[in-house]
């Protein structure tokens, strides 16, 4: 008797489990299907959500006064670096062209952005119609100045990117890398010879390559050749604008990648000749990626420059281009979320590890080399392949089971 009862109970139990599972299975399959179908969209939404969450986390930390001053000072540069990394990823990861002159576009953006904001500061007095218009609408004029300087920086960096892109994108591979590097250095070299002053009364700008040409009366010299950008105060860049720029960049880049144009760009990267024979205008698509990237880098430069009262030109040297490249490579070529995370972590890490400052760059490059060696090692590749294969098999079996049951 006892034995019989035991059997019945076991039967009942297994039936109950099956019923439960079938209830659970349906939503799980649905979720899986949705995930497979909208994989990209979900990843993108996750990226936005992550940035917004990070924003609120930082804001609440500032409110609760839990954040150190040095960390708070890093918030805007982090935003700038994220934008730079994401935009470089568009060139290197998506378009497949190694650009080593990204800091050059950043510099163009920084200079033009500062010029625009300084001009607006002195050209529009508190009585001018333009100023009053925003005053009446209850908008802070500093915000307007920042936004307009971002736009100006983006436009100018985009124009420079286009001019550089015409010769550069005709070249391939290593040549392209070295020419972008050369252009980055040329931009820096020219910019370090530039002096710009603004008339404090009328807002008239005075550009010159010779320091002594500038009349001292009424003029404020704010771009001083080799000393870089000086006297750019008060700071008009805020964390909100920084996050806004990050979201804007993500919106542009992620939508571009997923569009018809983005697929064409990727096709040109994967096989130039095949893409050409399919009738794609390779130069055009490479140019779209290059100019967009330059544009966003310029905006990041304007944001970066507006956060500091003075910036030296060495901030925009090849080292910075390489640093951004490290962000991109470690985050994963072509992986936007990866760029965002690696830019944040790698900018924060030295802040947190102040005492290891001497070894910082060394650790960076060792990690960079190891990443390249490991991801290209045949052993690791076959291992990843095996794991993927195993996962696929497991997944396939589950699916067939599901199919048989339903």
Partner 1 sequence: MITFLTYLINGLNIGSVYAVIALGYTMVYGVAKMLNFAHGDVIMVGAFLAYCVCAYLGLHPIIAVLGAVIGCTILGILIERLAYKPLRQATSLAVLITAIGMSYFLQNMAQLIWGSDTKSFPSIIQGDAIVLFKTVQDGVTKTLTLSPINILTMASCFIIMIALTLFINKTKMGKAMRCVSEDKGAAELMGINVNLTISVTFAIGSALAAVAGILLCASNYAPLSPTTGSLPGIKAFTAAVFGGIGSIPGAMLGGILLGLIENLGKAYVSSELADAFVFGILIVVLLVKPTGLLGKKIHEKV
Q: Which of 366, 383, 386, 391 binds partner 1 (CB under 8 A)?
A: 366
Instruction: Determine, following the binding rule CB under 8 A, whether residue 216 of this chain makes contact with partner 1.
Output: no
Can you tell me which residue has the tokens 């880049």? 253
DSSP 8-state secondary structure symbol assigned to residue 313: G
CA dihedral 23, 27, 32, 38 (to 10 degrees): 170
Total of residues contacting partner 1 (CB under 8 A): 43
Q: Do the beta carbons of residue 254 and residue 237 sit within 8 Å?
A: no
For residues 351 and 357, give the distance between their C-alpha atoms in angstroms, rounded to a whole number. 9
For residues 374 to 393, the per-residue mask of contacts with partner 1, x marking binding by CB under 8 A and - elsewhere, is -xxxx---------------
Instruction: Determine, following the binding rule CB under 8 A, whether residue 305 of this chain makes contact with partner 1.
Output: no
* β-strand pairing of 219-224 with 205-208: unpaired
Q: Which of 34, 186, 349, 353 binds partner 1 (CB under 8 A)?
A: 186
For residues 108 and 335, give the distance between their C-alpha atoms in angstroms, rounded to a whole number. 26
Instruction: Determine, following the binding rule CB under 8 A, whether residue 167 of this chain makes contact with partner 1.
Output: yes
| Strand ranges across the sheet with 219-224 | 205-208, 195-199, 219-224, 228-229
For residues 94 to 113, the per-residue mask of contacts with partner 1, x marking binding by CB under 8 A and - elsewhere, is --x-x-x-------------
Burial of 204 (0-12, 13-18, 19+ CB in 10 A): middle
Q: Which of 74, 192, 293, 344 binds partner 1 (CB under 8 A)?
A: 192
For residues 315 to 354, the per-residue mask of contacts with partner 1, x marking binding by CB under 8 A and - elsewhere, is ---x---x--x---x---x---------------------
Q: How far is the CB of 373 from partner 1 (least distance, A)?
A: 5
Q: Whose Cβ is closer to partner 1: residue 31's or residue 373's?
A: 373
Q: Which of 16, 17, 45, 369 binds partner 1 (CB under 8 A)?
A: 369
For residues 222 and 116, give the distance between their C-alpha atoms in angstroms, rounded to a whole number. 12
CA dihedral 145, 150, 152, 158 (to 10 degrees): 180
Q: Whose Cβ is closer to partner 1: residue 106's or residue 236's?
A: 106
Can you tell me which residue has the tokens 């935003």? 79
Q: Which residues bind partner 1 (CB under 8 A)?
A: 92, 96, 98, 100, 167, 170-171, 173-175, 177-179, 181-183, 185-186, 189-190, 192-193, 273, 318, 322, 325, 329, 333, 358-359, 361-362, 364-366, 368-369, 372-373, 375-378
């Amino acid at each position: 008797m006892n034995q019989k009862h035991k059997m019945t109970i076991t039967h009942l139990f297994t039936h109950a489990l099956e019923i439960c599972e079938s209830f659970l299975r349906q939503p799980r399959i649905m979720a899986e299907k949705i995930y497979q179908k909208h994989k990209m969209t979900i990843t993108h939404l996750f990226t936005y959500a992550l940035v917004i969450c990070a924003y609120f986390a930082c804001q609440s930390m500032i409110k609760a006064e839990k954040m150190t001053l040095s960390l708070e000072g890093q918030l805007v540069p982090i935003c700038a670096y994220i934008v730079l990394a994401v935009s470089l990823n568009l060139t290197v990861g998506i378009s497949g062209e190694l650009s080593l002159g990204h800091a050059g576009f950043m510099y163009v953006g920084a200079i033009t952005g500062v010029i625009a904001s300084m001009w607006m500061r002195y050209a529009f007095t508190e009585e001018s119609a333009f100023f009053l218009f925003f005053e009446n609408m209850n908008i802070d004029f500093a915000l307007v100045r920042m936004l307009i300087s971002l736009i100006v920086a983006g436009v100018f960096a985009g124009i420079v990117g286009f001019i550089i892109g015409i010769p550069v994108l005709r070249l391939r591979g290593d040549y392209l890398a070295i020419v972008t590097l050369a252009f980055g250095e040329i931009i820096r070299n020219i910019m370090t010879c530039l002096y710009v002053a603004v008339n404090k009364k009328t807002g008239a700008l005075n550009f010159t390559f010779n320091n002594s040409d500038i009349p001292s009366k009424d003029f404020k010299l704010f771009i001083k050749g080799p000393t870089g950008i000086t006297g750019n105060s008060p700071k008009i860049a805020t964390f909100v604008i920084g996050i806004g720029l990050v979201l804007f960049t993500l919106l542009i880049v992620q939508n571009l990648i997923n569009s018809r144009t983005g697929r064409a760009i990727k096709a040109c990267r994967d096989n130039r000749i095949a893409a050409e024979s399919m009738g794609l205008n390779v130069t055009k698509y490479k140019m779209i990626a290059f100019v967009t990237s330059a544009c966003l880098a310029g905006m990041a430069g304007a944001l970066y420059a507006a956060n500091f009262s003075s910036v030296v030109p060495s901030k925009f040297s090849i080292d910075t281009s390489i640093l951004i490249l490290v962000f991109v490579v470690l985050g994963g070529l072509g992986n936007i979320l990866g760029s965002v995370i690696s830019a944040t972590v790698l900018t924060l890490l030295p802040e947190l590890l102040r005492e290891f400052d001497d070894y910082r760059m060394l650790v960076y490059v060792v990690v960079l080399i190891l990443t390249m060696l490991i991801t290209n090692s045949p052993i690791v590749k076959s291992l990843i392949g095996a794991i993927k294969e195993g996962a696929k098999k497991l997944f396939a079996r589950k699916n067939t089971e599901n199919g048989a049951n339903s």
